[in-house]
Structure formats: C-alpha cells, structure tokens
Structure 1
C-alpha cells in the first residue's frame, strides 16, 4: 500500500505572528504600512515574512481594506517593441510600489471593443488606469467614456493634457532629420508608420518641420506598417529610382528591412545611403552596420506613469506631465553623402 505524500501547508499570517513574537493584528498593520508600528517591530516581521516565504492573500486583503492595489492597463494587441516595453516598465514600477497589473488589449479600434475593454478593467476594481493603445481612434472613444478612477494616457497628441505622458515624438523625429541635414544630406526620404498611429503621425510631423525649416525639398512620406518586411519592399521600390541620399525610418524594424534592400541592391550603408531609425530596440546596436536611431526611455515612462497615478490616488496635485526628451544615438549607419 502506497502512502500519499503529506501536503505542505503554505505559511499564513498566524505563522508569521508566532515566529515574530507579535499578534497577527500587528502583522496585518505591517502589511498595510501602518505608521503606528515601531521600526524594529516592522523589520522583525518583514524578516520573518522573507524567511518563511509568506505571501499575503490579496483577495482577503481587498475585502478588509476595500483596496485591490491593482492598476489596469489597456494596450493594443501588438507585439511591437514600444508598447510591449512600456507594459514591462509599468509592471516593474507598479510592483516596486506594491501594486500589480490587470492587463487587457484591444484587437480593433471600434468604439464597442474599446468600451468593452475599459468596462472589463473597471469591473476588476482597478484603482487606476494606464492607456497605451497608440491609435488615435482609441483616444477619441476614451474621451466619450466616464472614467471614475485616476488614469494616464501614453500619447503625444496634447489633447489630454491633464492625463497624458509621453516621449516627445516630434522632437525625436526632428533630431533624426537634423542629424542627416547636418551631415550634408539635402534629399531625405521618410518611411512612416501606419497613418492611424499617434506616434507615426508625430514622427512624420517632426520630419516635415525640420525639412521645411532647412528649406529642403519636401517629399511625400511613405506610409508603412512598422515591419521589417515593409521596409524591405519599400526599399526595393524606392531604390529603383534612388533620387535621395538618406532615409529616416519611422522605427528600427523598417530601417532594418530598408538596409536589407540596400544590400540586395548592391548599395553600401552609409556609403551610398544613410539610414536613421527610431526606438533603439536592443538589436539596433547589432545591425549591419549598427543603426543610428532615436532612443526612448521606456523605463522612465513606466516609472513616471505609476508615480502620477499614485500621487493622484493619495490626493496629490501638480505632478509633472512634461514630455520626456528623446536621445539621438549615433552609430555607423549614417555618414556625409558622397560628392
């Protein structure tokens, strides 16, 4: 006859109390950051919690405190580097502040889909909300909905000043374009992201502003889809005529595809064509050649988004909504044009 192994019980709050030599009410006060607990007692309880691996029951705590300590995140259904990295940065910042995330995504930008996603998050009793779905139509729908919790939108349109937070996409595009102009390029083409994406529109705007300020010939941007696949085929088509010496791609993946088209066409980057991307994905430094690009500080975005929400939850005002400055990272994909 085989004996079943004895199941190991997970430690509970009374185990912590017994080992720390305090009441379970004291442990509860430590978990809820009560200011009435002495520092030495707090540390002793925290040491025991760490030693035995106690994990508070979040559902039970929510019933007692009427707080879920949960931040909702509405994201687009996308695997692109920017939105994905923003979610990761927000999750890290939230966890460090003692919060967790409830995430849902929208696969389409229609009103009912967006409303359903927000209703779902609010039904989870989230205490605050982050919206990083980057299509303009998402924010059009959001403005019509009644959001009764603090929220922040990671977008750069400037239409929602009291709730928005973003990297300055226009400034980033101007940095990229100005870099090419200062190298001596006068014929510059822009491969843009999708027309309905806020970041794509802002980067296109920055490109055009810098071109106009330098009084250079304005070329109609090529509307892409963020993928290396599009950058490659757009490159093959553009290089049939090659009436330009530099390309500003709306993201690093399209820049990668374009450089592939250059190699296949027997052209050298940057000898024949200079290329600048946007985002500074981790692989950008390992492209051939390493890619000049515009870096966005996604960790800072996540930290500041969570800080804004926590401040509002605690009744704070006057938080910093200024746009975060991007950074131009110069590598080997850009050089002066051949004369």
Structure 2
C-alpha cells in the first residue's frame, strides 16, 4: 500500500510537505505542489481517512436514516439532493434504510451503528409527509428531519408546502376559465390531505366562487400503509351526476388521476375534450405517460434533501419548520378546447395568505 513517505520520496520533499499539499495549505509553493500532485497521481496514493479522522477529530461522515425513502422511486430524490450537497462539501453520506414495520429495535440498531462510526450529523428522511417519533439519541449529534415532522418539533424540519401548492394549482384551473372545479381527495389520514384540501377551499372562497361540498369526494379510504380501497368509481359517478357538471377535477395525487383517466374513458369521456384534470406529486412515469400529459405539482423532494443537508452542515440550528414550494409542471390536461378564457386572478382577488 502506497504511503505518504513513498509520495515524499518520489516528489523529493518531506512527508510533512506532502501532508500540507493534501490539506490544501496555501503556503506551499506552486512548484512544490505540482511535484507532490504529480507523485500522488503516478503512485495512485489515497489519504488514510482513519488517520485524518484521528488528527482532526472529525469523521467527515453524515448519517442518512432512510425511513423507506430508498424504496420509493419519487422520494429517492431526497437522498439524491442530500448526496449532491454532501459531495460538494467533501462529506461521505452513510445511508441506512429502516422499516418502521420492523419495530423499534431495527431503528435503534441502525442509529447505534451510525453513532458508533462517529457521524458528524444525522439526516432523518421519510418516504412521505407524515409524523415521526425521533429516537432520543439523535440529540447526541446535530440532526435534521426531511419530509416528516416530530410532534415536539425537536429538530430543524423541511416539509413540502402542501397548502400553497393546492392554492397554486387551483388558481391555474381558475385562470383557464373553470368555475366548477371538483376535488378527489387523499386518504384523510395523510398529513397532506387536509392541507391540500384547505388550499383548494381558500382559493375558491377568495375568488368569490364558494365551495360546493358535492364536488369534494374521497378517492381513497383506509390507512396509508394498509388496506387502501379505491372509491374513484363511485366518486366519479357522484361528480358527473352533479348539476351543473364540473369542468375540471383536481386529484389529490397522480395515481388517483390515472384512475380518473381510465374511469372517464370507460364512460366515453376524454380528458382535454370533456373536462380538465390536474394533480399533485409528478410521479413518473404516470404523469408523462398519460394522454394528454398530466399537469401536476411536483413534490420538492430534491430541494428538501439539499436544504436539509445545507442546514446540517451549517452547524447547530434552532428547531423550526421550513416549507418548500412545489414546482408546477404544466402539460396539457388542465386545458379544455372551447373553454372561455379568463384573465389571471389578481393578487388582490386571491392572495397567498400563508
């Protein structure tokens, strides 16, 4: 194994000079630095991270506790965002996936393993927006939470701004001329369910349209990780029977929108011709494979991972919640041919109010 002394011998310098070059000491002359870097390249030398840890008392490792994030394709962007920032700061991300169904002991073992490796901080990320009980040991090192919230708000927390996203997508439908906008909601046990519904209600009320309760239908009943039962078929029948019929349907998530497309087709109706559809999450390939393409609000998973990691690397922070905006992705489904256009609603008519 190539040692620092081997590099010094080839470069014609002392091993202390090599160490200064490795640690990017600006006092080293450029000519000497060039010789050392050339020797490092020729020998394929790699610094001993264990020795560096002993000298600096810092491991350079950040623990990433994945509460099923790595098993969910769209939520995996939280990990990607965190990795990008960690790489930019020369930190190693140690990822441990846990499964809350496996019980407390499984989670505790994962945390103990990370702490034993002297991680400099912990990022706990959830697969969807929900409440989570954080292990007490997370207080031993700087910690942040992404896509989940603790009941006591113990650590800095980064969440998707569900209510603001619902306001924005509902306003888009209004700007397209729709005034009868139905809502196919999420499972009410989900944290996002009440927030998205509240945003939908706010925009309609502030625009002076009011909310027709008959146009609000549940699309799923059950528990998030248990037996969910789709009620889309019955909800569609109820919406189509209302008078006048809605011209747009806002879905609580893209999988519901996919079911809606199919249910409408079975009834001889076509999205983009007979009514508009919009949704949340931008779950691929659903949103791109549907015809017409689904207009949806993309969850800020990447941004949550990035900002949570930035916060963690910035040092100790006060607990608090940061809500990150969704990204509106306009395709074709929110438009209906022949729908009378309306000028965009002014901020005086519909304000953010958050």
| Partner Cα separation in structure 1 for residue 82 and residue 45 of structure 2 | 25
- Structure-2 change in CA distance of 1:29 and 1:182 (3 Å): same
1:31 corresponds to which residue? 22
| Partner Cα separation in structure 2 for residue 51 and residue 258 of structure 1 | 62
Please state if 1:67 is matched with 2:58.
yes
2:212 corresponds to which residue? 217
1:236 corresponds to which residue? 233
User: 1:34 Cα shift?
Assistant: 4.5
Runs of 4+ in structure 1 off by over 6 angstroms are: 224-227, 317-321
- Contact 2:66–2:124 (CA<8 Å) still a contact in 1? yes
User: 1:72 Cα shift?
Assistant: 0.8
User: Aligned residues, how many?
Assistant: 321
Please state if 1:333 is matched with 2:326.
no
Please state if 1:187 is matched with 2:184.
no
CA displacement, residues 287-330 of structure 1 (integer Å, 9 cap, x when unaligned) = 321111113444433332222112107xxx68997433323222
User: 1:194 Cα shift?
Assistant: 7.1
2:98 corresponds to which residue? 106
2:306 corresponds to which residue? 303
Q: Which has the higher strand share?
A: 2
Local SS of the residue matching 1:240: helix
| Partner Cα separation in structure 1 for residue 195 and residue 110 of structure 2 | 26
**2:296 pairs with 293, 297, 303, which one?**
293
User: 1:97 Cα shift?
Assistant: 1.1
2:258 corresponds to which residue? 256
- Structure-2 change in CA distance of 1:12 and 1:251 (3 Å): farther
Local SS of the residue matching 1:261: helix
Query: 1:38-49 to 2 correspondence within 5 Å?
Result: 38=29, 41-42=32-33, 45-46=36-37, 48-49=39-40
- Structure-2 change in CA distance of 1:162 and 1:209 (3 Å): farther
User: 1:332 Cα shift?
Assistant: 0.3
Query: 1:142-181 to 2 correspondence within 5 Å?
Result: 142=134, 144-145=136-137, 147-155=139-147, 160=153, 163-181=156-174
Please state if 1:323 is matched with 2:316.
no
| Partner Cα separation in structure 2 for residue 257 and residue 278 of structure 1 | 14
The TM-score, its normalising length taken from structure 1, stands at: 0.77
| Partner Cα separation in structure 1 for residue 174 and residue 54 of structure 2 | 60
Please identify, of 52-61 and 148-157, the stretch whose mean Cα deviation from structure 2 is larger: 52-61
2:271 corresponds to which residue? 269
The TM-score, its normalising length taken from structure 2, stands at: 0.74
User: 1:246 Cα shift?
Assistant: 2.9
Please identify, of 110-119 and 121-130, the stretch whose mean Cα deviation from structure 2 is larger: 110-119
| Partner Cα separation in structure 1 for residue 148 and residue 58 of structure 2 | 31
Gaps of 5+ in 2: 241-245, 340-354
Gaps of 5+ in 1: 1-9
User: 1:271 Cα shift?
Assistant: 2.0
User: 1:256 Cα shift?
Assistant: 3.0
Please identify, of 167-176 and 184-193, the stretch whose mean Cα deviation from structure 2 is larger: 184-193
- Structure-2 change in CA distance of 1:335 and 1:16 (3 Å): same
User: 1:20 Cα shift?
Assistant: 4.0
| Partner Cα separation in structure 2 for residue 53 and residue 261 of structure 1 | 61
Please state if 1:312 is matched with 2:318.
no
User: 1:49 Cα shift?
Assistant: 4.2
